[in-house]
Amino acid sequence: MENENILTIKDLDVRLFTDRGELPVIDRLSLTLKAGETLGIVGESGCGKSMLASAIMGLIAHPGKVTGGSIQFEGQELVGMKKKDLRKIRGTGISMIFQEPMTSLNPLMTCGRQIVETITAHEKVSRAEAKERALAMIRSVGISRPEKVFSEVPAQLSGGMRQRIMIAMALICRPRLLICDEPTTALDVTVQAQILGLIRRLQKETGTSVIFISHDMGVISQMADRVAVMYAGQLVEYAEGEKIFTEPKHPYTQGLQAAIPRLDEEKDTLLSIPGSVPMLYDLPKGCIFSPRCTHATERCGNERPALVENSGHLVRCFLYEENPSKGGTQA
Ligand SMILES: Nc1ncnc2c1ncn2[C@@H]1O[C@H](COP(=O)(O)OP(=O)(O)O)[C@@H](O)[C@H]1O
Ligand SMILES: [Mg+2]
């Protein structure tokens, strides 16, 4: 079993060292990803999803720091790995697509040259061969006139086209793990659907494993085989996608599910769950979700629930305890 996992995260702790103290931005989080599968990570803005992606990429910077736990990629420990070795893994082992391509594309360099340089930085190939591959990659991300886009700078492209170039850059060195951090959040619905379709198609063709991050359960439901729900730095539910979508257990997951915008309905995701994600310097004493939870009891306000297993879900909620002690509620 263990060998099938391309990524194994165990008890990962990441803290922010701030004026307000050491804040637990990722709190003892454990996850696994099987080769070839897509792991969805969902949670509202500020729940630590991008921090988790940065931790996997080895890119946590001050004021953040990995303070505990382990991240194994293909059996290699990434926590504490030398910068030089991490750089080798980024690009050919793990690569990433961000929400806003402009932050990771060079605005002054043509798209073609950026892709060519990504190839030549990692592989010993001639420039002519690299150009050939870059053009083929640009075509495979659904751009019908690759030569034209090859010689354009990112600002000359639409948001959707830029995101396609970003995907081409991320996939050009055939990574075994692709992390997509809200890759379609900045795009309109039609373009979003095209990009999601593109990522699914490329994943099928290349067999790459994917971590797909979104605040939108609707998007996650189109992409993920397994889903991890994060709330304020904690894993609150973890199960197969099918299980999460058809029978969400944690009240937070249920809220995210209910917030999926229906067709033609303009709805702010945050409207369905009252309140907001707590500040890390002001976390509630008991269950972190309890101030927003309609099921909360006195116990929830005082005690932190652990992750427990319940019909194939891991869920952090007293509702699903096998033997709730007095004061707990039966599911
Ligand atoms: N450089 C930073 N300094 C201080 N706080 C940060 C920094 N980066 C992120 N945070 C905080 O860490 C938490 C998680 O952020 P993030 O991982 O970006 O969440 P998400 O991607 O789920 O929206 C948030 O509370 C955010 O304010
Ligand atoms: Mg984010």
| Share of residues in the chain with pLDDT > 70 (%) | 93
The predicted structure's pLDDT at residue 99: 84
The answer to whether residue 286 is domain-embedded is yes
Range of the domain at 153: 103-172
| Share of residues in the chain with pLDDT > 90 (%) | 84
The answer to whether residue 329 is domain-embedded is no
Q: Report the CATH number that the domain containing residue 289 is assigned in CATH.
A: 3.40.50.300
Q: How far is CA 233 from CA 217, 245, 282, in A?
A: 18, 21, 13
The answer to whether residue 35 is domain-embedded is yes
Domain end, chosen from 172, 202, 224, is at: 172
213 & 79 share domain: yes
- Pocket test residue of 18, 45, 49, 51 for ligand 1, highest count of atoms within 8 A of CB: 51
The better pLDDT of the pair 101, 39 is held by: 39
78 & 127 share domain: no
> How far does the centroid of ligand 1 lie from the alpha carbon of residue 83, in Å?
23
- For residue 255, give the nearest of 305, 217, 225, 287 by alpha carbon: 217
The reply to whether omega before 107 is within 30° of 0 (cis) is no
70 & 152 share domain: no
- For residue 143, give the nearest of 162, 118, 128 by alpha carbon: 162
Residue 199, judged by CB atoms within 10 A of its CB (0-12, 13-18, 19+), counts as buried
- For residue 236, give the nearest of 315, 318, 321, 331 by alpha carbon: 315
Name which residue sits closest to atom 9 of ligand 1, judged by CA.
51
DSSP characters for 29-98?
A: EEEEEETT-EEEEE--TTSSHHHHHHHHHT---TTEEEEEEEEEETTEE-TT--HHHHHHHHHHTEEEE-
As given in the structure block, the two tokens for residue 85 are 């070795």
The answer to whether residue 330 is domain-embedded is no
Q: How many domains does the chain have?
A: 2
10 Å Cβ neighbour count for 217? Answer: 25
**pLDDT per position as a tens digit, 98-129:** 888 777 899 999 999 999 999 999 899 999 99
Lowest model confidence (mean pLDDT) among 19-33, 61-75, 317-331: 317-331
The better pLDDT of the pair 266, 245 is held by: 245
223 & 113 share domain: no
- For residue 41, give the nearest of 194, 182, 243 by alpha carbon: 182
181 & 195 share domain: yes
Average pLDDT over residues 188-216: 94
Q: Is the CB of 47 under 6 A from ligand 1?
A: yes
295 & 201 share domain: yes
Task: Please give the helix or strand (H or E) that residue 299 lies within, else none.
Answer: helix 298-302
d(C-alpha 81, C-alpha 282), whole Å: 32
55 & 178 share domain: yes
**pLDDT per position as a tens digit, 46-59:** 999 999 999 999 99
Radius of gyration of the chain (CA): 21
Q: Is the CB of 233 under 6 A from ligand 1?
A: no
Domain end, chosen from 172, 190, 210, is at: 172
113 & 53 share domain: no
Domain end, chosen from 172, 190, 209, is at: 172
- For residue 9, give the nearest of 21, 36, 27 by alpha carbon: 27
Q: Flag whether pLDDT at 164 surpasses 90.
A: yes
136 & 255 share domain: no
